[in-house]
């Protein structure tokens, strides 16, 4: 199964952009890249997903490298409510999400 | 409102007892999932189901059982065979496409006394 690698934690200042990196060097051609985030003691929440092209939605942007071996989640203007654990996940042809340990994002006021 | 409900939110169990966690969804999703999460860790897949009356083992199915008699419901039983059942349990549902996002319930925190 393809795996993802993320930094354990990152810090950012409030109202500044945040770039969360993810490596997935063994990704297959049909794997989608999904991002979820999780607040303490809550279920994960979907953020964004993509296959090859960069994607934007109301929550974030997803930049995917041309070789698809890495991607970056971009929060354009972080707020304190964005403090969470962010998971970069691959969804394979068996419809399963393969979860890693995620990146804990700390937002400083 | 559409969504996923899990009950109870907190559950305490004595060693040697079976316990069943409830998961219901009204999103008309075909696929449902059960995950286990330990402190500071990511999610690990216990079981998943893509259609009524059918389900597949995930990475850590030993000591757990499920049923899918209705599209809306996917209960998880934690049996006495599960050696370390204290954890946070999350239920999710989704469509069947590889691009489909998973929607999660609020979770059940199980503690074995």
For residue A2, is pLDDT > 70? no
- Check pLDDT > 60 for residue B4: yes
* pLDDT score at A99: 82
Per residue in A60-87, pLDDT (tens digit) is 999 999 999 999 999 999 999 999 999 9
Average pLDDT (B52-72) is 96
Nearest by Cα to B45 from B68, B27, B61, B67: B61
What share of chain A has pLDDT > 90, as a percent?
Answer: 75
Residue A82 phi, psi dihedral angles, 5° rounding: -85, -5
- Using the predicted structure, report yes or no on whether residue B50 has a pLDDT greater than 90: yes
Contact residues, chain B, for A96 at CB < 8 Å: 33, 45, 48, 58
Cβ-nearest to B99 among A32, A42, A87: A32
- Report how far apart the first and last C-alpha atoms of chain B are (Å, whole number): 35
Q: Do B98 and A96 touch (CB under 8 A)?
A: no
Residue of B nearest to A50 (CA): B99
Q: Are strands A103-108 and A9-13 parallel, antiparallel or unpaired?
A: parallel
Report cis status (omega within 30 of 0) of the bond before B53. no
Alpha carbons A9 and B101: distance in angstroms, whole number: 24
pLDDT, residue A1, reads 55
Using a 10 angstrom Cβ sphere, with 0-12 exposed, 13-18 middle and 19 or more buried, the burial of residue A108 is exposed
Q: For B68-86, write each residue's pLDDT tens digit.
A: 999 999 999 999 888 899 9
| B44: β partners | B36
Measured between CB atoms, which of B45, B103, B105 is closest to A96? B45
Banded model confidence at residue B100, pLDDT cuts 50, 70, 90: confident
Q: What is the DSSP string of A57-81?
A: -SS-EEEE-TTSSEEEEEESS--GG
Q: What pLDDT shows up at residue B110?
A: 95
What CA–CA distances, in Å, run from B6 to A5, A27, B57?
Answer: 30, 33, 20
pLDDT at A95: 65
Average pLDDT estimate for A8-17: 96
Sorting pLDDT into bands at 50, 70 and 90, what band is B1? Answer: low
Residues in A touching B101 (Cβ below 8 Å): 34, 46, 49
CB pairs under 8 A between A and B: 57
For residue A57, pLDDT over 60 is answered with: yes
């Amino acid at each position: 199964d393809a795996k993802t690698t993320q930094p354990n934690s990152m810090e950012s200042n409030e109202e500044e952009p945040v770039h969360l990196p993810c490596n997935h060097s063994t990704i297959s051609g049909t794997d989608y890249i999904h991002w979820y985030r999780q607040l303490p003691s809550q279920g994960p929440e979907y953020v964004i997903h993509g296959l090859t092209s960069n994607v934007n939605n109301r929550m974030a942007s997803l930049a995917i490298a041309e070789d698809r071996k890495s991607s970056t989640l971009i929060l354009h203007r972080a707020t304190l409510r964005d403090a969470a654990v962010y998971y970069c996940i691959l969804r394979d042809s068996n419809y399963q999400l393969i979860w890693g340990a995620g990146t804990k994002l700390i937002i400083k006021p | 409102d559409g969504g996923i409900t899990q009950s109870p939110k907190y559950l305490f169990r004595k060693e040697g007892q079976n316990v069943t966690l409830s998961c219901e969804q009204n999103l008309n999703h075909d696929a449902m999932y059960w995950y286990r999460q330990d402190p500071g860790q990511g999610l690990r897949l216990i079981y998943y189901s893509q259609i009524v009356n059918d389900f597949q083992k995930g990475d850590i199915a030993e000591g757990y059982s499920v049923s899918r008699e209705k599209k809306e419901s996917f209960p998880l039983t934690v049996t006495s065979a599960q050696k370390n059942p204290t954890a946070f349990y999350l239920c999710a549902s989704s469509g069947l496409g590889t691009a489909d996002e998973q929607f999660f319930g609020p979770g059940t925190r199980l503690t074995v006394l």
